[in-house]
Amino acid sequence: MGQAAKRTLTSASKRQAFARKIIRRASPQSLPDMRMNLRSVMTISLSLVVGVGLIVLLLLASSVRWQDVLSRSLAVDRMAFARLSLLFALNSFLSSEKWRRADRVITHGEVNPLSRSTAFGLTTAGVALGQLLPIQVSMSITRTLGTLVYGRALRRGTVATLFEQAFDFLVAVLMMAASVCTQLLHAGAALWLACAISGALMGVVSAGSLMEVVSRLATRAETAKICPARWRRTLTDLRQSGLFEANLARQLTLISVARFVVLVLITREVSVGVHIPIPLWRLATAVPFGLLAAVVGITPGGLGLSEAAYATFFNLSGLPLAISTQWAIANRLLSSAAAFVAAGFGALLAVACKAFERSRTRGAENAAQV
């Protein structure tokens, strides 16, 4: 058979395979998947509309024009934005370190460990995607997809992510308690700092006891058979993996406290960049409310909810609502931009480290052959 005939047969088989693929996708069995995908798109679109609607309502309530907010954001101080981007990268690095610690425990060292550059790159990508999706969803998606080639992607990318993010939530709740106490007593920076340090120490010390409670609840769920068998097996594996150990919980809580400090510094750089002077301790008292609104909200990255929380808290603290609204929306715009800058840096670093590792491995193989 000639080369031309072979090429004709090959192209024909490819066309047939493509046609079969299209027919499978259009078959009745694929309709539930198509409906699910359509439902997900509609849900995301609706949440985005809700978030934008909340922003519009906030602008109307404060009598602020969006042109003023945009011009203030575009006129940001360049050095302040550079520091903001670096702080976002540092925050992502701390998050990736938490993930790596949980990943080492959850995999028992049986699969390829995550390198720092890979974990950092996936985390920065998750933070950037978190401007469009809820952060817990975006981070789980990017980390799960990024660990497909390493094995146990769902457990490493989703379970480990949700576990380490739970400590960020714990620290945010403790810091919110300090903010509420300061606000109710009409106190200042000294009381908030004392309450915040006490709350952080309490969180680090009690993290081990909290994990003991979680482990007992997991054991009861296994024995009582109140969940499907697959979930019970997963709970057993997680409990036996050491994920609920007190030492790991204290480490993750301590890193979450460091991340909270970085978030406070991020808000400071926003204030400096848009020339809205707000005391650092006042920013620190507001961060827990904006953070929790973003975490528990149903909108992408807490869009609208986080801004409303910041603006309301600052307004209750004595700052005019118009200024509070401008700061809150400018914080969203600049933080989103800085998140994408950090994601670009994380991607370049991951690619460069991977290329360096491959070249070093290739050089070692060539030296061994010589």
Identify the band that residue 223 occupies on the pLDDT scale cut at 50, 70 and 90: confident
**Alpha-carbon span 99 to 97, nearest angstrom:** 5
Distance CA 58, CA 321 (A): 9
pTM: 0.83
Q: How far is CA 82 from CA 210, 263, 334, in A?
A: 39, 15, 11
- Which residues are within 8 A (CB) of 166 and not within 5 positions of it... i.e. 6 or more apart? none
- pLDDT digit string (tens) for 151-189? 677 788 888 898 999 999 999 999 999 999 998 998 889
What is the predicted pLDDT for the residue at 52? Answer: 87
Please provide the size of the chain in residues.
370
SS3 of residue 328 by DSSP: helix
CA–CA separation, 129 and 121 (whole Å): 12
Sign of CA dihedral 159, 164, 168, 174: positive
Q: Give the per-residue pLDDT at 179.
A: 94
Give residue 37's pLDDT band: very low, low, confident or very high (50, 70, 90): low
- Each residue of 338-365: pLDDT tens digit? 999 999 999 999 989 888 888 777 766 6
In three-state secondary structure terms, 227 is: coil
Predicted confidence at residue 283, as pLDDT, reads: 95
Structure-token pair, residue 148: 């497909």
Cβ atoms of 285 and 183 within 8 Å: the answer is: yes
Query: Cα angle vertex 114, ends 111, 119, to 5°?
Result: 150
31: tokens are: 């309709």
Reported as a single tens digit per residue, the pLDDT across 248-275 is 999 999 999 999 999 999 999 999 999 9
Report whether 343 contacts 85 (CB < 8 A).
Answer: no
Neighbours of 78 (CB within 10 A): 8
Structural contact between residues 285 and 179, judged by C-beta atoms closer than 8 angstroms? yes
CA distances to 135, 186, 200, 254, 305 from 296, in Å = 10, 27, 21, 22, 9
Asked if residues 288 and 102 have their Cβ atoms less than 8 Å apart, the reply is no
Average pLDDT (235-252) is: 80
Most confident of 21-30, 279-288, 300-309: 279-288
